[in-house]
Structure 1
């Protein structure tokens, strides 16, 4: 039996990079104290998210960093033996990507650029073009960012690539167009949880879902960080408050148990599915 402790963070991040690095360091320290081997931080934990999702101000965008920026080395140094997934805005020439990187003190293990861009986000970021899993000390991992998890094909592609754990990094707000008086009554709050559990259950994998908290502009971020087992069951969660959701499990054994009778990936019938719109 190989037990792994997995942590998903709910926390607020903004434009103050010193503050962000301090908060990242504190969350890593807290996760280490809890015995976690994997910590998933929110999307845009370095530099913050867009201040206005409907009409982004070109003069107030998050800072963009190259893939080899020394700031990521600082996060790696903080991570040491732990696998840490963190989101940031990535610069590639004149293009910007909503990106995530998984790293340890030994360096980068994997990268992802957000593929599915909602609303006006497509006026700020270029879309990524792939989903790929990668090997880590805690098992084979894949990453999704925000809206990516709305599409079943995203997590399914990672599962077919051998991902045992899918890290979903989010800066996911409450509904902007139809605000509810309480977050637990919000449509986006319900969907956030629904997607996390569905992606885990349909692929029989572990989903580790982080999210921002607090408010920026007219947006209220949901929190609701969680660890979901391969049966779609929530093993740990933070609700709306900042903090860590920590769960301990034998990832390979839990997946094997979930797939013992009904193995969704081996029972796929791809020849019967339409491959084009």
Structure 2
């Protein structure tokens, strides 16, 4: 396939779906103008994230959308030849999920429901139950949402399912319990970068990490969108500001090169890990 351009978005999204669509339209246009073939938008880009993670107000939750929502269809149409991943609140069978969908102009390529939930989310969302990779025009992709990437098994499951690109969609805030005077000193800021680089390096995949910026209620989001290579090196990043981190990567070549001498997936010893399952 050769080299492709990959974009990871840092941007603010609130409850207003129409305003969110305007922002998504602009971001897709800018990414297309930069030659991007893959664009990863943040978690909760449609409808915003929770305003309070410890005690979510049941009357102020993000709007829930069905899998056939017109907004998702509009994003697919906007994507056209591009592959676009976007996060939203999904309604299904009376439950709400923190969800992500990956689309092109031809329709849905893959879906994910957030599996791992911090305690406050239990009052707002049901949990997903699996990690699965899927084929796209830019290669095989798997998706994670927020807290999913804290757990090594999440990205490892996707890599074992053949994903060479892992899209991590986040609405990741600064520390709620121990706020630092500067974002660079914030514990969650350091962990966000650490998890991105570790998940890429341990699985030898390209990781595309998006995140929200700005604030929602008492939550202040980090930004720090980035594209990470299979050696754990950051290829492009936005730091804490809004924008699109764009990196040009030959995914198959870089993954193959990373695995040529030390092939982490092939050198595993599953019989020694039985107690982890």
TM-score range, shorter chain: over 0.9
Distance 1:71 1:22 in 2: 11
Q: Cα deviations across residues 138-163 of structure 1 (Å, max 9, x unaligned)?
A: 00000000000000000000000000
Following superposition, the deviation at residue 275 of structure 1 comes to 4.0
1:90-101 correspondence to structure 2 within 5 Å: 90-101=90-101
Q: Cα deviations across residues 156-211 of structure 1 (Å, max 9, x unaligned)?
A: 00000000000000000000100001101000000000000000000000000000
Give RMSD over aligned pairs. Answer: 0.8
TM-score normalized by structure 2?
0.99
> Which SS does the other structure have where 2:274 is aligned?
coil
Paired residue for 1:171?
A: 171
Give the total of aligned pairs. 277
Paired residue for 2:196?
A: 196
Distance 1:71 1:261 in 2: 45
The runs of at least 4 aligned residues of structure 1 exceeding 6 Å deviation read none
TM-score normalized by structure 1?
0.99
Distance 1:84 1:247 in 2: 15
Paired residue for 2:225?
A: 225
Paired residue for 2:254?
A: 254
Following superposition, the deviation at residue 274 of structure 1 comes to 2.6
Q: Cα deviations across residues 222-255 of structure 1 (Å, max 9, x unaligned)?
A: 0000000000000000000000000001000000
Following superposition, the deviation at residue 276 of structure 1 comes to 4.8
Distance 1:81 1:217 in 2: 36
> Which SS does the other structure have where 1:59 is aligned?
coil
Paired residue for 2:78?
A: 78
Distance 1:193 1:22 in 2: 29
1:73-222 correspondence to structure 2 within 5 Å: 73-222=73-222
Structure 2: gaps of 5 or more residues: none
Distance 2:276 2:29 in 1: 46
Q: Cα deviations across residues 66-97 of structure 1 (Å, max 9, x unaligned)?
A: 11111110111111100000000000121000
Distance 1:5 1:93 in 2: 38
> Which SS does the other structure have where 1:84 is aligned?
strand
Paired residue for 1:49?
A: 49
> Which SS does the other structure have where 1:274 is aligned?
helix
